[in-house]
């Protein structure tokens, strides 16, 4: 144990307490609050572990979107019906977890192989081969920031499928609002009117978020940032504007909305097909244009991510079915 480990130990302890509370706090609203706080601690840990891309993403999601989502849930749901929130299989599950943890600890303490022979070893070089190859290929990728190069060039297929994940989740959400059935009792997510201070703040905050989002997108090619971080910030801005009533409802019947929802995936898929038909193969960007292609894919993806995420968080009957 060395003194420089102290902040890490504090963060770890804090994280464990938050996790425990988020699971087992007696009141569900406390559990939700602790879960949001958990997200903030995780963002701190990402920063501590030199992962600025992730810290940015986690902050945008954890502080912005998850908070609104859970608040919405707290308003819409009745209190827990079961005072006793544990299931019948409680002791079995507890036993299982204790045994699993003990086995893990025994491996950790006695076998020692978990760290020394496998994952962590100061003797031999453990740099993953995939990483070495990625580092070497970054100059040819069309962008300078390695994380962006991995996301949009080396593993572009993953990112294309990830945009589809967002889209499918939205497709699922739409099923919860059957068409032709107007739902009067829906609790439209909005802040109480009395919070004028909040709406005044929003007028300042939202443009700031939009500018920051644009900056993150632009910065993504050379430094931490990129489509996802920018998209989630923009989504948070849209959600805040919508909750304070400054943004009119988005309407699914508008072609522009549908176009911006599918734009990211459709454009990406079109690029993939075009490179397969006229180029050197599925998702093989032509060398000279790869930077340009990546930035245009990122712009479309940011738009889609922002709109889709905000619909996922606050979309109601009138947004999704009218």
Minimum CB distance to other proteins smaller for 137 or for 210: 137
Minimum CB distance to other proteins smaller for 86 or for 203: 86
> What is the Cα–Cα distance from 84 to 99, expressed in whole angstroms?
24
Q: How far is the CB of 138 from other proteins (least distance, A)?
A: 8
Task: Using CB under 8 A, pick the residue from 101, 182, 188, 196 that binds other proteins.
Answer: 101
The interface with other proteins within residues 39-58 (CB under 8 A) comprises 42, 45-46, 48-51, 53-54, 57-58
CB neighbour list of residue 141: distance below 8 Å, 6 or more residues apart: 149, 153, 154, 290, 294
Task: Using CB under 8 A, pick the residue from 10, 144, 176, 215 that binds other proteins.
Answer: 176
In the stretch 273-302, what mask flags binding to other proteins with x, by CB under 8 A? Answer: x--x---xxxxxx-----------------
C-alpha distances in angstroms, 27 versus 17, 31, 62, 200?
16, 6, 21, 32
Can residue 255 be called a binding residue for other proteins (CB under 8 A)?
A: yes
> What is the Cα–Cα distance from 184 to 12, expressed in whole angstroms?
46
Can residue 90 be called a binding residue for other proteins (CB under 8 A)?
A: yes
* Contact stretch for other proteins (CB under 8 A) within 8-16, 191-199, 204-212, 292-300: 8-16
Count of chain residues binding other proteins (CB under 8 A):
131
Task: Using CB under 8 A, pick the residue from 10, 26, 96, 203 that binds other proteins.
Answer: 96
Encode 90-107 in three state secondary structure: HHHHHHHHHHHHHHHHHH
Cα 98 off chain centre by: 31
DSSP state of 183: -
Q: H or E segment at 172?
A: helix 156-174
Can residue 308 be called a binding residue for other proteins (CB under 8 A)?
A: yes
Sign of the alpha-carbon torsion through 242, 247, 253, 256 = negative
Q: Which residues of 267-276 are buried (b: 16+ CB within 10 A; e: fewer)?
A: bbeebbeebe
The interface with other proteins within residues 136-155 (CB under 8 A) comprises 137, 146-147, 149-151, 153-155
Can residue 131 be called a binding residue for other proteins (CB under 8 A)?
A: yes
Tokens 């931490």, located at residue: 224
Minimum CB distance to other proteins smaller for 107 or for 203: 107
């Amino acid at each position: 144990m060395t003194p420089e480990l102290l902040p890490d130990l504090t963060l770890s302890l804090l994280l464990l307490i938050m996790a425990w509370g988020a699971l087992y706090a007696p009141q569900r609203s406390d559990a939700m609050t602790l879960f949001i706080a958990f997200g903030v601690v995780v963002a701190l840990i990402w920063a501590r572990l030199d992962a600025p891309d992730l810290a940015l993403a986690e902050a945008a999601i954890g502080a912005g979107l998850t908070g609104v989502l859970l608040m919405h849930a707290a308003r819409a749901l009745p209190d827990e019906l079961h005072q006793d929130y544990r299931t019948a299989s409680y002791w079995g599950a507890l036993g299982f977890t204790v045994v699993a943890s003990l086995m893990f600890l025994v491996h950790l303490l006695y076998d020692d192989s978990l760290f020394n022979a496998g994952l962590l070893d100061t003797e031999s070089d453990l740099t993953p081969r995939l990483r070495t190859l990625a580092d070497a290929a970054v100059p040819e990728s069309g962008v300078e920031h390695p994380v962006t190069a991995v996301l949009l060039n080396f593993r572009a297929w993953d990112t294309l499928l990830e945009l589809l994940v967002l889209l499918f989740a939205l497709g699922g959400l739409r099923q919860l609002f059957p068409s032709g059935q107007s739902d009067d009792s829906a609790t439209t997510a909005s802040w109480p009117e009395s919070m004028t201070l909040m709406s005044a703040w929003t007028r300042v905050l939202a443009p700031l978020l939009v500018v920051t989002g644009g900056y993150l997108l632009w910065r993504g090619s050379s430094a931490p940032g990129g489509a996802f971080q920018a998209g989630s910030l923009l989504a948070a801005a849209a959600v805040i504007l919508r909750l304070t009533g400054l943004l009119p409802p988005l309407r699914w019947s508008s072609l522009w909305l549908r176009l911006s929802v599918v734009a990211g995936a459709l454009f990406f898929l079109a690029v993939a097909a075009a490179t397969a038909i006229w180029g050197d193969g599925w998702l093989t960007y032509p060398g000279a244009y790869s930077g340009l292609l990546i930035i245009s894919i990122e712009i479309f993806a940011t738009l889609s991510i922002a709109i889709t995420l905000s619909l996922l968080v606050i979309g109601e009957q009138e947004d999704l079915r009218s």
